[in-house]
Structure 1
Amino acid sequence: MTVHFPFQNSYSALPDSFFARVAPTPVAAPRLIKLNRPLAVQLGLDPDVLETPEGAEILAGKTVPAGADPIAMAYAGHQFGQFVPQLGDGRAVLLGEVIDKDGIRRDIQLKGSGPTPFSRRGDGRAALGPVLREYVVSEAMFALGIPTTRSLAAVVTGEHVIRETALPGAVLTRVASSHIRVGTFQFFAVRRDTDAIRRLADHVIARHYPELLGSERPYHALLAGVVARQAELVARWLLVGFIHGVMNTDNSSISGETIDYGPCAFMDAYNPSQVFSSIDEMGRYAYANQPRIALWNLTRLAECLLPLFGEEQEKAVEQAQEILGAFSDTFSNAYQAGLRKKIGLFTERDGDDALIQDLLDAMAKNQADFTLTFRKLGDAAGDPAADDARAQFMDPAAFDEWARRWHERTTLEPQSAAERQAAMHAVNPMFIPRNHRIEAVIQAAVHDDDYAPFEELVKVLAKPFEAQPDYAAYADPPLPDQRVLQTFCGT
């Protein structure tokens, strides 16, 4: 059987300065450990053929499929606030693009496929642990309804990579609306290549914002579109307790998808200052800082686009500032609307914001589990006697005082108790990819070549809003000796 990818490549048709042509580096003995069969079908691929040895060779980069035009994309970026004029895909190769069943163009990229001209002395490889982490978390984010890159496959290479020690090597096949980043624009801006910036902006508009084609001021509208998508994306992150961990401009997608799951994590106990990333020593990308950093990143994008706004610099800056000014309201509206839904409020009244903030403050003070507090609050909405939400608080009395006010407020809503509970359970997940569960999956795979825990975790996280009684333990927060205090980028 022949593996067929219906490639229709567009990015590789841009000028050579946008990328380097480079093939994946063959590996010794690729073995498929996971294929995302529903996603393969969505992409117009045959999952049965992809699961053959020939398919594993393609998914590991050992064989390049017909029609592929493999490239490593060029980009720059601010990393923890420090600008690096050339980064690029140092361990990833974009095989090409396909049009999925919904008519959406998707990149198919191999991550961990060997060195490229952008590797900066790195080996271009990926260890098994980070590949499993990205597979688990990106697919969990998809199930939670959050815009994200996705994982098509994970393959072990039969080779080891050297980090602190020798680890099994692996390749992740990643799917994205595109891999164009804020840093892609920065790559050309620092080189004062306005023609390339325009060419890139036109490509992005045609691919991601086609409604702007023919707009009177398309580049202003493009900035506004990216600002809106990023504001809404970060609001969704906060609503599920997600911490990206490395919000550099080169990890900020122009399409509005979550990209690059390195030292990411979901909170257990609610803490606005929570940081997991081992490389975020100053807390720049802490949970509550994410909206501010998103705006900072978008400001860097605006700087890149200024030459396209017009020759009058002062006026261009004013126009950009006005567009960026919309971020705060867009984020706040999305975040507050989401929080209202999480506590079962579907109309707006004076005092709602204070009621929500008081709950968050009590959760932080009492180390209440973020996910379970909101999920169990849904139980209490259907049965006021349910006290599992109360049990999340070190001082249950702190919850009792707030719950009294909340129950009074919900009596002003038109929904029945059953309707409110169903609506709350539809937005408050029972299951998230908790750090200790991911770590257990990685340890079983790396040390015992055992992928049963990985398969089970992926299965549970595919239905995050369902009760799943047989897997109830997956909702539990970690015991003290199970807590994962740091996560790592894996490079």
Structure 2
Amino acid sequence: MKKLSELVFNNTYSALPKSFGTFIKPQPLDDPFLVSVNNRVSQMLELDPAQAHTQYFVDLFTGNDEHPAMAPLAMKYTGHQFGQYNPDLGDGRGLLMGEVLTSSGQKWDIHLKGSGLTPYSRQGDGRAVLRSSIREYLASAAMAGLGIKTTHALAVLSSNTPVFRETVERGATLIRVADSHLRFGHFEYFFYTQQYAELKLLADYLISHHFPEINRHNNETGQYREMFNHIVQLTAEMIADWQAVGFAHGVMNTDNMSVLGLTFDYGPYGFLDDYEPGYICNHSDYSGRYAFNQQPTIALWNLSALGYALTPLLEKQAIDQALQNYQPLLQKAYSKKMRHKLGLKATLEQDTALFAGLFDLLKSQAVDYTLFFRTLSSLPHAELLSASHHFQALFEDLAPLAAWLSLYSVRLEKESLDDADRLDLMRSTNPKFILRNYLAQQAIELAEKGDFSMIEQLLAILQHPFDEHPEFDAFAKRPPEWGKKLEISCSS
């Protein structure tokens, strides 16, 4: 483990032409202090976690000090927001501080969110608040714990700097760590401004640094075709992960879409409580464009927008073929994950009806999505026909459930997995803990009073969400009614 001063930087993105962004230093926060550090992320960087408790760490990531090897850069990109192209986007409150190179050759972006004004801040103040920083910090840990590709968060820092939102809040910064911060919107920027040489340079950069498996013997068009195919596949797999675990992103604008299939830019996200296919987690999404059940379609729309931006590099036929592959890739990945949630290995024709019946059942009685699958994960095959009483707290009418459990029991007879292996598979697929909005809100309210204990408790269970953690059983229960109705908007 290293000290901050010993980290090795290889700032490849900041070496690109000036059209890719603007160098600018973060603006200092007043009287900064550490809120929480994720030791797992620190270890990914080969950074001694104790460094987060030093004054230099706090000052460095709140704009009060500098690191000689960092080259803070506000990245320029554009994108489609709620379906409309917006040319005036970019890192308006964040900076790519540098790229850490580990001893194994892994490169990590270090990004500071809440760093102050940049040329792309538009009418904003460039700041982040403690509330939104904690939400992203916990969400990225939750997704990583679930095995879903995501950006990470090293630490949250706060301050006495006032930031004006609906009320006066504490200014904060979040240290985001990611394989890359390249978005669909980076490609859209160069396409819509007709900077085609830079568009090609960006594609070459992406292939060189993040898709080394692409066949270098191909001609350029072949490499770009493989690049787009990779992005389509990674996006399909990400969406399958979201839908299987019941995660709603809330703002699937193209500037919030990672070309590496990382869950990116956490704002008004939410995990399903009651199973509601049309769940809208973003209070600002008046039309329901980014509802839970719309995410697969929106991802394809976003990929189409990216494909259009790549037309100077790729022929239309190659773009169309890649887009046609999206639905089969998504369905294959989603089907596998959902079968594992039921402890199924084989793929049988009757499975479609089995799942359709289950989803209709969960929807009709507004059953808690996570608790249903977790409860099912504890029931031996021999007990299924008399297992309805295990679900009494989740269902108002147990008769339809008993009928479905009977069908499920018959289906299990066609599996080769023994019961113990089936239950192990289910318990490793169906989490006991998710980051419910009301839990995040309670942690935020305590933190705003200077108590960070619940953040640490949530971090501990979210990093191991499939384990029992009996001391934290309260965090696995159904939320109170008020907890299901929290209004989370883009400012969150």
If the length of structure 1 is used for normalisation, what is the TM-score? Answer: 0.96
Distance 1:234 1:400 in 2: 31
Q: Structure 1 residue 2: deviation in Å?
A: 6.2
Aligned-partner residue type, residue 152 of structure 1: L
Distance 1:247 1:391 in 2: 34
Distance 1:343 1:4 in 2: 48
Secondary structure (helix, strand or coil) at the match of 1:444 reads helix
Q: Structure 1 residue 467: deviation in Å?
A: 1.2
Distance 2:343 2:234 in 1: 25
Contact 1:372 1:389 in 2 (8 A): no
Distance 2:246 2:102 in 1: 30
Q: Which residue of 1 aligns with 2:194?
A: 192
Contact 1:125 1:170 in 2 (8 A): yes
Q: Which residue of 2 aligns with 1:313?
A: none
Q: Which residue of 2 aligns with 1:147?
A: 149
Show the 5 A alignment for 1:22-101.
22-100=24-102
Q: Which residue of 1 aligns with 2:377?
A: 378
Q: Which residue of 1 aligns with 2:471?
A: 470
Q: Which residue of 1 aligns with 2:456?
A: 455
The answer to which of 404-413 and 481-490 deviates more is 481-490
Q: 1:175 aligns with which of 163, 174, 177?
A: 177
Contact 1:366 1:394 in 2 (8 A): yes
From the superposition, tell whether residues 255 and 2 of structure 1 become closer, same or farther in structure 2 (CA, over 3 Å). closer
1:242-300 deviation line (CA, Å, top 9, x unaligned): 00000000000011101000001101001110001011111001001001000100111
Distance 2:480 2:29 in 1: 39
1:77-132 deviation line (CA, Å, top 9, x unaligned): 10000110120000001110012354321100000011100000211001100000
Distance 2:471 2:116 in 1: 41
**Sequence identity, in percent?**
39
Distance 1:333 1:48 in 2: 43
From the superposition, tell whether residues 415 and 300 of structure 1 become closer, same or farther in structure 2 (CA, over 3 Å). same
Unaligned runs of 5+ residues in structure 1 are 310-315
Show the 5 A alignment for 1:209-358.
209-214=211-216, 215-216=218-219, 217-309=222-314, 316-358=315-357
The answer to which of 326-335 and 437-446 deviates more is 437-446
Q: Report runs of 4+ in structure 1 exceeding 6 Å deviation.
A: none
Aligned-partner residue type, residue 163 of structure 1: R
Q: How many residues are aligned here?
A: 484
The answer to which of 28-37 and 331-340 deviates more is 28-37
Distance 1:38 1:299 in 2: 36
Contact 2:190 2:199 in 1 (8 A): yes
Contact 2:438 2:486 in 1 (8 A): no
Aligned-partner residue type, residue 350 of structure 1: E
Q: Structure 1 residue 42: deviation in Å?
A: 1.8
Q: Structure 1 residue 390: deviation in Å?
A: 5.5
Aligned-partner residue type, residue 485 of structure 2: V
The answer to which of 473-482 and 428-437 deviates more is 473-482
Secondary structure (helix, strand or coil) at the match of 1:392 reads coil
From the superposition, tell whether residues 147 and 344 of structure 1 become closer, same or farther in structure 2 (CA, over 3 Å). same
Q: Structure 1 residue 223: deviation in Å?
A: 0.6
Distance 1:2 1:462 in 2: 24
Aligned-partner residue type, residue 322 of structure 1: Q
Distance 2:171 2:402 in 1: 51
Q: Which residue of 1 aligns with 2:361?
A: 362
From the superposition, tell whether residues 226 and 2 of structure 1 become closer, same or farther in structure 2 (CA, over 3 Å). closer
Contact 1:244 1:265 in 2 (8 A): yes
Q: Which residue of 1 aligns with 2:483?
A: 482
Q: Structure 1 residue 415: deviation in Å?
A: 1.8
Secondary structure (helix, strand or coil) at the match of 1:110 reads strand
Secondary structure (helix, strand or coil) at the match of 1:173 reads strand
The answer to which of 100-109 and 83-92 deviates more is 100-109
Distance 2:474 2:197 in 1: 55
Distance 2:133 2:55 in 1: 20
Contact 1:366 1:393 in 2 (8 A): yes
Distance 1:103 1:353 in 2: 44
Aligned-partner residue type, residue 365 of structure 1: S
Q: Structure 1 residue 452: deviation in Å?
A: 1.0
Aligned-partner residue type, residue 453 of structure 1: M
From the superposition, tell whether residues 159 and 459 of structure 1 become closer, same or farther in structure 2 (CA, over 3 Å). same
Distance 1:60 1:388 in 2: 50
From the superposition, tell whether residues 102 and 39 of structure 1 become closer, same or farther in structure 2 (CA, over 3 Å). farther
1:177-230 deviation line (CA, Å, top 9, x unaligned): 111100000111101111011000000111111111513301111110000000
Q: Does 1:417 align with 2:419?
A: yes
